[in-house]
Every structure is written in structure tokens, then in C-alpha cells.
A and B are shown apart, each in its own frame.
Chain A
Amino acid sequence: MAARRVAITGLGIISPLGLNLTENWNSLRAGRCAIGPIESVDCATLRFQNGAEVRGYDPLEHFEGGKDAQIDRFAQFSVVAAREALRDSGLEFTPALREQTAVICGSSVGGQMAIEMGYQDLYLKNRGRVHPLTIPKTMSNAGASHIAMDLGLSGPAYTVSTACSSANHAIGQAFHMVRGGHVEMAVTGGSEANFAFGFLKAWEAMRVIAPDTCRPFSKDRRGLILGEGGAILILEPFEAAKARGAKIYAEICGFAMTSDAHHLTQPTVEGPSRAMRGALRDGGLAPEEIGYINAHGTGTPGNDPVETRAIRAVFCKHANKVAVSSTKSMHGHALGAAGALEAVATILALHHGELPPTVNYTEPDPECDLDYIPNQTRAVQVEAAISNSFAFGGLNAVLAFRAAH
């Protein structure tokens, strides 16, 4: 089968920036920073106190009959986002289509909160037992499985776990499956919920968390800020979407992944560069066609200059014209969900003709010398964009999108 164009026809998201798509877009375009004191965990003995948490979320509004206690927060986020995305797509499944729909999700740590709750029961509270659903709550594929069960989708379903690139890897694989005709539809994205004391302590030990806020590409940046949430995209063949009169947000047209094969935590210029070039090639895009890059942009001293050099290596002279932002400055670093949250931001930027900013930007850094859309949303209709995700372990995944008009 010849390769097909692939449309994005539905979006769903729950993040620190809002509990649904509208709230998220309003926050992104307003440049609202959702970073603040962590409320769900006692941080008195941590070196950092700030994070970007999903606030105002009530599981009982989404899960009945005690199901809220059977599904870890990260998997709840995936279901909540998937339901919204499906509603948004206006799609009605036939029995045949249900069998031909893939569910591919990304998550870095899966049910971290369920694990830690069990440990607390065992080691802190000296209880002789843990919650009986600790195993199915903990498994990283719970997000994909619960979406499949909730929406009745019986095609291929699995979870990709590649740390901070998880969602980009998941979305990229789903895109290739739809494009190649392996499935007729895909529900894809990622989710993460990692505000658990032990996990925060582990990040503290890595010494990469900012004590204040996330300031990507700014000279005074001091590290990343953890986030959480979930986002889901509905992918379908472009022609099928047009035929049913669906709203098409954008086209997903390219994906590439590379490995640095270098170091567990130190990024290279070469690995991300090859991933960006690969995504452009896969999408039939010239570098000059890219008007916006949603950067990995963690705000760590290590990532931002290296990503800047990688962008320069790929885009050469055009690097001075391309607009780059890190929306992590607003929603934090949602790890395995980051690529999904950022894909939604990128797709909406193409759809609305407005580029979300890098907030908390105060001071140019000679080592980070691109146009980072500092602090203010920019009204520009760009024709194509890429979204970068780079993971610990040196795993790089880049998605490319085109405006649908």
C-alpha cells in the first residue's frame, strides 16, 4: 500500500495548564506558568519545592463505582485525555474500525504513585499487605490498556517507555502505522504522574531540578521543573478525515528517532541533529519550510546549549529565522508525557497561527542564541513545525507537522 497522508482530527489533554483542551490552549497563548509550590507531597526535606502539578482534578468526576482506586493517576490521565480527544474528533466507530485502531502510549515511570504507596504501607507503616491492585496499577502499559478498554478499541495496543522521549516515540510509531496502512486509526500520546516522594528524592539526587522555576535558554536557568499530565491525539488517514468532513488540526508528516550511543545523561549535538534531519526527510520537508520548533528545552545547563547547536547544525542560516520555544517553561517537564503535551502545543500553534512562548526568560545566553519567543505569544501562521524530545539514555525522537490548510 502506498504511504498515506495522516491527519490529526482530535486532541485531548489534561495538564498543569488546564483540565481540557480549551483551558490548555488559553494558558499556552497567555503564557501562563503553572509552576508553583508542590502541594501533593511534603517537600520539607527536599532541596526543591516547586513543580507543575495538575490541580483541580477530581477522579470521581471521571471514574465511577470505585474504578478511581483501581487505576493509577497516570493511567487516569491517559483515559481522560483519550475520551476528550475522541469526542473532539467526532468519530463514530464501526465494529471493524475498532479492530483496526491502534492505541500507542508513552510513559516513563508508569504507576510510580502506586509503587510508592505500597512501599509506604510496607516499610513506613509496617502493614503486612499492599493494595491488591498494585501490580496492574503499576504496569506502564496500564495507560494504553485502560484506553483500549474504555473506548472498546481492539487493535494493536502497547506502551513505549523511553524516558523523556516516550510520547514522541509512541506518536511517531502510531503515525507510521497509520501512514503505512497497518491500521486505519490511532489513539496515541502519553501520560505521566510522578509526584511521589521517593521519585522526587531520586530527581533531587540527579541535581538537575531548579530550585526556583524553569527558564529554558535563559542565562540564569537553573534546571528543569517536573510536571505531569496526559495528552492524546487521534490520527487517521487524511483522505478519510476529509471524506467524513472532520476538523483537521494539522497533518503529522514526519518522524525520526536516533540514539546518541554516547552517555547516559550527557546529550550530543549529533544524535538530536540526525533525528531532526530524519524527521524532515521523512516528512518531505526542507529545513526552510519549518517556521516553529517546539524544543525539548528542559532549562538545564546541559540540554539547552546542545539543543541550540543541534538546531544550528540542521537549519544552518535558516536557524536565525526559525522561532523556537520551550513550553516546558509553562507546564514543566512531564517526562514520558512531555512529547504529547508538546505535540498538542505544536499542533495548536499551526492550527491557530499563534506560537506559544518560552516564559520566565530573563537574560540572553551567548550559548543559546536563537529566537526563543521570549515571554510573549507570537501571532504568526507558520506552514510547518517540528517537536523535539530527547531522553536520558541518549534517545532522540522528533515529530514533524504541517498546517492543514
Chain B
Amino acid sequence: MADAVAEKVIVTLASVKRIPADKITIETNLQELGIDSLDVFTLLFELENAFQISIPDDDVRSIRTVNDIVVGVKKLIPATPPDKSVGSATPAD
């Protein structure tokens, strides 16, 4: 589970920054990737979609490394029931 979450976080982050996933490890500091505040908003949005979670604003402020994200996401996966609306398959999806 841990590996799968980390892998998904890394793939999501790589997609947001348009860089190869193999440039990112669990220890990577977000600053090293040139992540700015707009990238963070986008990343959180993509993570929410990818994991079907809702990330509270307060959880965001302490994020420094990829591992911080992985830890935060893992906390939310069991704790947060999916949005009522999320995942309800519609023809448009």
C-alpha cells in the first residue's frame, strides 16, 4: 500500500511539473523541483482527484518533501469518505 501510494504521488507530481517520474524520489524536496504556490494548488487538485480524497487547507502548510505528501495522503485515504458526488459514474466520465 505504502509503495503504491508513493508511486501514485510521484506520478501525479511528475505530471503536474511535466518532468519524468524517475527524477523524483520519496526524499525529493519540492523546492528542488521549482514548485511554486500555483504548482501546489494544481498538485493538491490532482491528488484529490487521483485518490478521491479531500485535503483540508491546514494539512497543506507543512508540506516540504514528497514523503510529507505521501504521509498526508495515507492519513486521508482511510479517514475521508469519498465525496458523495465523486465517482458517481456519469456518461460524460
Instruction: Please give the residue numbers on chain A whose beta carbons come within 8 Å of chain B beta carbons, in ascending order.
Output: 60, 64-66, 68-70, 120, 124-129, 131-133, 136
Contacts and interface: CB of A to CB of B under 8 A. Distances in A.
Interface string B12-47: 000011110000000000000010001101101100
Interface of B: 16-19, 34, 38-39, 41-42, 44-45, 48-49, 54, 83-86, 88, 90, 92-93
Given A65-B17, A66-B17, A127-B49, A132 B44 contact: yes
A120 B92 contact: yes
A131 B42 contact: yes
28 contacts: A60-B18, A65-B19, A65-B34, A65-B39, A66-B18, A66-B39, A68-B18, A69-B42, A70-B38, A70-B42, A120-B92, A124-B92, A125-B90, A125-B93, A126-B85, A126-B86, A126-B88, A127-B49, A127-B85, A128-B83, A128-B84, A128-B85, A131-B42, A131-B45, A132-B44, A133-B38, A133-B42, A136-B38
Contact of B18 (A65, A126, A132, A133): A65
Contacts of B34: 65
B92 A132 contact: no
A129 B90 contact: no
Nearest to A68: B18
Contact of B90 (A68, A126, A131): A126
Given A60-B18, A128-B83, A66 B88 contact: no
Chain A interface helix/strand/loop/mixed: loop
Contacts of A69: 16, 42
B85 A132 contact: no
Given A124-B90, A126-B90, A133 B41 contact: yes
Contacts of A128: 54, 83-86
A132 B86 contact: no
A66 B42 contact: yes
A336 to B, nearest CB: 25
Given A66-B42, A120-B92, A124-B90, A129 B48 contact: yes
B45 A66 contact: no
A196 to B, nearest CB: 15
A60 to B, nearest CB: 7
Nearest to A63: B18
A355 to B, nearest CB: 43
Contacts of A127: 49, 83, 85-86
